[in-house]
Structure 1
Amino acid sequence: MGVSGISAGMIFPLAQRAAGRRTGAPANGPAGAEGDAAQTSEAQSPQNQTPETQQQVSELRQADSSVRQHEAAHQSAGGAYAGGASFQTVQGPDGRSYAVGGEVPIDISPERDPTATIRKMETVKRAALAPSDPSPQDMRVAAQADAQKAQAQQELRREQEQGGEGGGPEGAAANPALAARGAAAYGAASSIGANRSTGVGLVL
């Protein structure tokens, strides 16, 4: 019902390999669960990690930090229209869970008033393009916001034309001011989109 998701969409090859090893079948043997726990504890110790394992853990930590910052920026820019973040995690070779993907739901439903819809879609687009590295899903949400905004602008123009026809001289005089205000709002949104593409402005 007018709710879409903006997502970090980050899955790293080393993270996938680490997850594959951690989710394999448990080892058999007399030690059972106690033996598995002891092996996990030993694996978590930096002294017992191979250079490859240390590299995997380092990459997972970087991915986790990047994903969480990405989603936090979506939430901050989306304000009241953005929901809580959810994360896709994997278990690293050190036994810890790391976020390697995430998404934030955002409300893209139109408002009753076209002017309010225009303002809302500008906020939605800012939230979608807030990352320094927008994902394909982020770009799709931004495009949806642009489409909703264009539809609202058409509706606003129709209302202005109808008001001008039936409102006499005062209504006709008000139309240019309303049209100019709509054009200014559209120009501001276009400028926001250009700023995101050149890395200027908010960073997710």
Structure 2
Amino acid sequence: MVAGVSSSGVYGVPLLRPSQQARDRSPDGQKDIGQNTAGLSGTLTDDQQRQVQELKRIDASVRQHEAAHQAAGGPHAGGASFTFTRGPDGKNYATAGEVQVDAGAESDPEATVRKMDTVKAAALAPSDPSAQDLRVAQQADATKMQAQQELRRKGSGPGSRSGGSSGGQDGAEGGATPSDTAAPALAARGAAAYASAYGIGPRTGTAGIMV
């Protein structure tokens, strides 16, 4: 199973559903939207210059966001793909992005626990995780909890040591808590956003990662 972790569209650009993105992107994973050609034949107006500066800021933020996913996801993270908006200066700027992360369970439950720690760390690596990022983190917690339950049934492995520290949320079950083993790899604000979204109290010992 592959899940997408992404930065949401900004600057008034709607973020397409994954199925739409897959259809509309070019083979290199890039999609050019918006054909604002004002100012191409002459000097940009003050408003257009402000638009360009904002697009540059957004482009840098989106690329940093996706780079954080890739760095934390390691071998489970794929390449980044971007949606572009053409600015008044005729240049394309990234205004949304996505990194595909392998979030499928392994055949060995211990390997699944380790993998889900990495998947969750990848989802929460940016300081400003999107709603999709939070859903992937929640999904990783649920998959990890299932693997821990399997280990507890066997009476051995990290599941018995971890107990219920990572109570994933699926169906009628309660909110998930950030994994203790993944915590050092999570960006502080990313983990805080996850905690806030799922009604978890603040935790200590969470360190930021290099972005």
Same fold (TM over 0.5): yes
Residue 9 and residue 178 in structure 1: after superposition, are their counterparts in 2 closer, same or farther (change >3 A)?
A: closer
Q: Which entry has the higher C-alpha Rg, 1 or 2?
A: 1
Q: 2:36 aligns with which of 7, 17, 22?
A: 22
Moved more, 183-192 or 91-100: 183-192
Q: Secondary structure at the match of 2:104?
A: coil
**Aligned mates of 1:147, 1:177 — CA distance in 2:** 16
Between the aligned partners of 2:10 and 2:158, the Cα distance in structure 1 is 49
1:105 aligned onto 2:100: yes
Answer whether contact 1:4 1:107 (CA < 8 A) is retained: yes
Q: 2:179 matched to 1:179?
A: no
Q: Distance in 1 between matches of 2:75 and 2:159?
A: 27
* Equivalent AA in structure 1 for residue 36 of structure 2: R
Deviations 1:66-94 (A, max 9, x none): 10111011001000000010000011000
The alignment partner of 1:67 has SS state of: helix
Question: In the superposition, relative to structure 1, how do residues 176 and 21 fare at CA in structure 2: closer, same or farther (>3 Å)?
Answer: closer
TM-score, normalised relative to structure 2: 0.69
Matching residue's letter, 1:78: G
Q: Distance in 2 between matches of 1:127 and 1:103?
A: 12
What is the rounded CA distance, in whole Å, between the counterparts of 2:105 and 2:44 in structure 1?
Answer: 53
Contact 2:4–2:132 at 8 Å: present in 1 too? yes
What residue identity is the alignment partner of 2:97?
A: G
Q: Secondary structure at the match of 1:84?
A: strand
Query: CA 1:191–1:57 in 2, change beyond 3 Å: closer, same or farther?
Result: same
The gaps in structure 1 that reach 5 residues or longer are 25-38, 161-174
Aligned residue number for residue 148 of structure 2:
153
Q: TM-score, normalised by structure 1?
A: 0.72
Q: Does 1:126 align with 2:126?
A: no
Cα distance change, pair 110–99 in 1 and its aligned pair in 2 (3 A): same
Alignment root-mean-square deviation, CA: 2.9
- 2:130 is the alignment partner of 1:116: no
Q: Distance in 1 between matches of 2:146 and 2:158?
A: 20
- Structure showing the higher helix proportion among its residues: 1
- Distance (Å, rounded) in 1 between the aligned partners of 2:73 and 2:138: 15
Aligned length: 166
Q: Report how far residue 197 of structure 1 moved.
A: 3.1
Give how far 1:189 is off.
Answer: 4.0
Select the structure that is richer in strand. 2
Q: Residue by residue, what CA displacement relative to the aligned partner does 1:2-31 show, whole Å, maximum 9, x if unpaired?
A: 101000113213x78xx656279xxxxxxx
Matches within 5 A, 1:43-192: 43=42, 48-160=43-155, 175=156, 179-180=160-161, 182-183=162-163, 188-189=180-181, 191=183
